[in-house]
Chains A and B, each alone.
Chain A
Amino acid sequence: MTLEVEQKDNITLIKVAGRLDTLTSRDFDKQVGELGDFRGDLVIDGAKMEYISSAGLRSFISLLKKVKDSGHTLEVVNLTADVRPIFDMTGFSSLFNLK
């Protein structure tokens, strides 16, 4: 799992690549935590995500709560066919306003 973070105006874009599972979710939490407080909305680009398990979902929901608490929005975009069914299955698609 690798993260790529881009800052555009007030929007933070996080590109997630690889597997987000039990082994990598802690790494994800840590790296996201290091970004500090959010001064604007957050967008996660899942174009290169290969795999997500419940641990990854939990990381997403923690991040969502943190972002909402700071009064901003979290949007997940470009989910692959590998990951999208999991989001649909768990109701996360609506939670993250997936199109």
Chain B
Amino acid sequence: MNLSDKLSLYVMYVSIGVFIAIILIVEFYAAKSESEQAEHITRLLQTEMVSNLDSRFYAVEQNVKRTVPEARLLDIAQIKQHTGDILKILLESDSIIEGCGIAMIPEATPTGREWMEYLCRDKDTVTLKQLGETDYNYTSCEWYRTPLNLGEGAWSKPYEDKGAGECLMVTYALPVVNASGETTCEVTADIAISMLDEELHRLIPYPGSYSFILTKDGEFLEGYPQVQQDFPSFASAFQTGKTVTMNGTEFICTFTPVESINIVIGTASPRHSVASVTSRIRLPLLLILVIGFILLIAVVRMTLVRAMQPLKRLTQSAIDIGNGNFDIVIPETRRYADLSRLGEAMSFMKDSINRYIAEIKENTRAREQMESQLRIARDIQRSLLPAPEATFTSKRLRLSAFQESALEVGGDLYDYVDTDKSLYFIIADVSGKGIPAALMMSYVKSLFHFAAQQKLQPSEIVARINDNMCADNPNNMFVTLQVGYIDTAAEKLVISNAGHNPAILRSALGCSYLNLPAALAVGILPNFPYTQQEIPFVAGDTLFMYTDGLSEAENPQKVFYGQERLLQTVTTAISTQPSTTAIVASIGDEIKKYSANNYSDDITMLCLSAFPNDGISMQLRYDVAELEPLMTAIREIGISDKWDADFVKKIMLVAEEAVTNIIHHSPVPHPEEPIEFDLRNENERVVITIQDHGAEFNPLKHDTEVDTTLDWEQREIGGLGIFLMRRLSESIGYRYHNHKNILTIILKS
């Protein structure tokens, strides 16, 4: 869910809550205050009515009392004569008086019997009645007894009169005491309850209100409007509480007692009339709230969407940056401070990334420059080393070297110098690795080279290197090395050791480490007495030298390759591999396999082998200049094997034509692999085998017989070489095998 949706939802929830609270408050408090107000108003009206009634009843009391002096004067006989007049005056004194009378106290009469005169209104006239004894036994009436007992005037409770007023009424009775202090009679005035209708009618505070009169005991007496059946329910409210629900309408009831005449005035008003304001404002209020609510949600939603707009733009910018577009301009957001800060932070991040990229580029460039210089250094160091394969035909020596550096440049060295009688060689391992070792290595190489050319003895060469290094070696570097030479004519190897790993010699006696006297590595002690040993070295012997990168190669379990295992490997390689190149290659493979191609030190091997003088094995580049050493080799073998000069020339011619043909006419030469030239002297025959890695090319296929009788104008320039080869050899054969063109030529001496 989006943030804006969520916020909108929250605002909506809170709004609905507030909305409901307002409705409840209005409904509850307003209604409550309205009922209280209604009660107050009703009570005021009632109080006014009561005071009105009180004053009228008081007036009645006073009128009754005004008759007393006259009534007091009367004795029984007189009363009978004058009551009519007295009563008439009393009745006319107040229209509210329904009827009035004088009731004699039976004990005060001579006869001792009840006697009462009663005057009451009968429509527009008045009627005088004689009451007492059997027809109206007033002495038992409450209106008569209470004032007599009290000895003063008193109002009766409302009662239904039978025999006199014939209606529901209250009676004021005042006992009259004569001059002798005896109570002689009671003067009474009746007020019909129905006379109060007019007052009740005025007591209608709200539409639908009811007004009514109860006895003090809560008995219903009179009500307005005249819906008699409703009032008993209202009367019950006087006892139980203030509200009555009738026919689904709630009525609020208010009561005020009229103490003088022992009645209670009640008013019942329907709640809906009372709470008319609340009902009136309910709908508008609801409307206002709903509209307000909708407006609020709309405004909030709009604001949020607007607020989210910059956030969306910032999001897009972040995606762009993520996609690698670091040149974009981060949109500015001034409207909201927090979003503006986010935008600034993103700008800062973008700028930082750009800065870092620039730094990385600069670093990379510097590193590449460094690496390129290291590559150049590596190339230079490589070029300092002589060819890894060489054949010295006249000395019947073949040499192969192998070197791989752990780093770009290394401190291992092999070198050889061919002098007229001997082949000088060196193998050396400079302490340390990398550029310092490489620099020292080139120094040692030049020292060796110069000394070897002077044909010094190996021990002298070692001593000279030692002296030069000791003289100026502030970094205390040292070099282990072996220097020597092989003189095949004298069939000897002279070697001097300076703390280097023991070399391996394979001779007719077997394969073993050369046991040379221990000597200090060079560069440590000036004037150290280095010695040299002279060892027989004849055709078929092989000398193998190496650096500690071999013997100390580690497998993934950190176990050294070791001297013993190395001796075995070298022994096997020398006895099974056909050439020195194959020997070092197979040992190199073995070491790589052992160390899982992860060797930490430079690896260097140098292998020298003296071959018997029974043939030529040469590797020729695709260059006719290679013919020169080849011709020299053929001449030399011819001399040593005491061949006939013509035969030597024949061999030379065939070899030249065959090799030249490959160099000049191979359709797809393969210059990476040399042309292998092999010559064997077998039983008065010479077998020449020439192999090359070019595309299949049979020189004999296109061999058209040269017509030697043609005139010069018809003679073809080509084809002469093949023609000569055929004519001079005993047999010539071609085959293509193992991706090699193999040409075999046999010549007979």
> Which residues of A does B touch, CB under 8 Å?
21-23, 51, 53-55, 57-58, 61-62, 64-65, 68, 82, 86, 89-92, 94-95
Asked if B135 is at the interface (CB within 8 A of a chain A CB), the reply is no
B653 touches A53 (CB 8 A): yes
A-B interface, 7 closest residue pairs, ranked by CB to CB distance from nearest: A91-B708, A54-B720, A54-B721, A22-B660, A53-B656, A22-B624, A58-B717
**Which of chain A's residues has its CB closest to B717's CB?**
A58
User: Can you name the residue of chain A whose Cβ is closest to the Cβ of B716?
Assistant: A61
Q: Is the interface of B mostly helix, strand, loop or mixed?
A: helix
Q: Is the CB of A23 within 8 A of B717?
A: no
A-B contact pairs, 13 of them (CB 8 A): A21-B656, A22-B656, A22-B660, A51-B653, A54-B657, A55-B660, A58-B717, A61-B712, A82-B646, A89-B727, A90-B720, A91-B706, A94-B709
A-contact bits for B594-628, CB 8 A (1 contact / 0 none)? 00000000000000000000000000000011011
Could you say which residues of chain B place their CB within 8 Å of the CB of A65? 712-713
- Closest CB of chain B to A90's CB: distance in Å? 6
Q: Which residues of A contact B723 (CB under 8 A)?
A: 54, 90
Contact B712 A95 (CB under 8 A): yes
Question: Would you call B494 an interface residue if the criterion is a C-beta within 8 Å of the partner chain's C-beta atoms?
Answer: no
A89 — which chain B residues lie within 8 A by C-beta?
708, 724, 727
Do residues B627 and A21 form an inter-chain contact, with CB atoms below 8 A?
A: yes
Chain A interface, DSSP helix/strand/loop, else mixed: helix
Q: Tell me the B713-729 residues at the A interface (CB within 8 Å).
A: 713, 715, 717, 720-721, 723-724, 727
Using A86-B724, A90-B720 as known contacts, say yes or no to A23 and B624 having CB atoms under 8 A apart.
Answer: yes
Minimum CB–CB distance for B719 against chain A, Å: 9
Return the contact of A91 from the options B627, B653, B657, B709 (Cβ within 8 A). B709
Chain A nearest CB from B138 CB (Å) reads 181
Given contacts A22-B660, A54-B721, 5 further A-B contacts (CB under 8 A): A22-B624, A23-B627, A53-B660, A53-B721, A54-B720
Once bound together, how far apart are the Cα atoms of A41 and B724, in whole Å? 29
Number of B interface residues in the complex (CB < 8 A): 27
Look across to chain B and name the residue whose beta carbon is closest to the beta carbon of A59.
B717
Measured between alpha carbons, how far is A55 from B664 in the docked complex, in Å?
12
- Using Cβ atoms and an 8 Å threshold, which residues of chain B touch A68? 712-713
Q: Check B193 for interface membership: any CB of A closer than 8 A.
A: no
Q: Number of residue pairs across A and B with beta carbons under 8 Å?
A: 62
At the interface, yes or no: B710 with Cβ under 8 Å from chain A? yes
Give the residue name and chain of the B residue nearest to A19 (CB): B631
Chain B residues lying within 8 Å of A86, measured Cβ to Cβ, are: 653, 724
Among residues of A, the one whose C-beta sits closest to the C-beta of B725 is: A54
Q: Contact partner of B717 among A51, A61, A92, CB < 8 A?
A: A61
A95 proximity list for chain B (CB < 8 A): 711-712, 715
Contact status of A90 and B646, CB under 8 A, knowing A23-B624, A54-B657? no
Q: Nearest chain A CB to B662's CB is how many angstroms away? A: 12
Residues of A within 8 A of B708 (CB): 89-92
The contact of B724 among A22, A61, A90, by CB within 8 Å, is A90
- Shortest CB distance B745–A (Å): 15
Residues of the B chain whose Cβ atoms lie less than 8 Å from the Cβ of A90: 706, 708, 720, 723-724
A31 CB to closest chain B CB (Å) equals 18
B653–A64 contact, CB under 8 A?
no
1/0 per residue, CB under 8 A from A, across B442-476: the answer is 00000000000000000000000000000000000
Contact of A51 among B649, B660, B707 (CB under 8 A): B649
Chain B residue with the shortest CB-CB distance to A26: B624
Minimum C-beta distance from B524 to chain A (A)? 51
Cβ contacts under 8 Å, B297 to chain A: none
Chain A residues with CB under 8 A of B12: none
